[in-house]
């Protein structure tokens, strides 16, 4: 059982590391989002603001914890992460908006949006950036 777990981890180490990193960053991003809502910031403003926190943390942690190879110089790498993340921010804003318009809460919309953009971000980073 332990050997199979080690083999599974080794085979999928990168996405496991990305998931762990993302979980920590999501907690920080979501906490900042809820904090912004609590102090009265409109949810459609809080989505991209909280995501900006996540973008910086994601780029930095991806470089040191997840992706060991480099395709680009750090400045180009950050620019590509920023572009991918801005697309992700647009997706998050749209998904949160649609969830709220469909009768859900902003908090639920943000959680659903985070789930969708997790896969978007991993795919783009793995395929094109790192």
pLDDT of 121 above 90: no
Task: Identify whether 111 is part of a domain.
Answer: yes
**pLDDT tens-digit map of 25-56:** 989 999 999 999 999 999 989 988 998 898 88
Task: Identify whether 107 is part of a domain.
Answer: yes
Closest CA to 118 of 96, 72, 94, 85: 85
Looking at the structure of the chain, the number of domains it has is 1
Mean of per-residue pLDDT scores for the chain: 90
Task: Identify whether 52 is part of a domain.
Answer: yes
Q: Is the pTM of this model over 0.75?
A: no
**pLDDT tens-digit map of 48-73:** 899 889 888 988 999 999 998 889 99
**Please, what's the b/e burial string for 79-99 (b: 16 or more CB within 10 A of its CB; e: otherwise)?**
ebbeebbeebbeebbebbbeb
Task: Identify whether 88 is part of a domain.
Answer: yes
Q: Which domain holds residue 59?
A: 11-129
Determine the Cα–Cα distance for residues 67 and 17; give it in Å rounded to an integer. 9
Task: Identify whether 3 is part of a domain.
Answer: no
């Amino acid at each position: 059982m332990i050997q199979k777990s080690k083999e599974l981890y080794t085979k999928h180490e990168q996405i496991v590391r990305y998931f762990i990193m993302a979980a920590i960053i999501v907690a920080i991003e979501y906490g900042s989002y809820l904090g912004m809502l609590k102090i009265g910031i409109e949810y459609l403003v809080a989505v991209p603001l909280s995501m900006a926190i996540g973008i910086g943390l994601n780029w930095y942690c991806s470089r040191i914890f997840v992706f060991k190879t480099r395709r680009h110089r750090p400045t180009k790498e950050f620019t590509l992460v920023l572009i991918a993340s801005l697309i992700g921010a647009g997706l998050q804003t749209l998904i949160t908006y649609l969830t709220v318009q469909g009768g859900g809460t902003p908090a639920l919309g943000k959680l659903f949006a985070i789930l969708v953009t997790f896969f978007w971000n991993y795919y783009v980073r793995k395929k094109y950036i790192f």
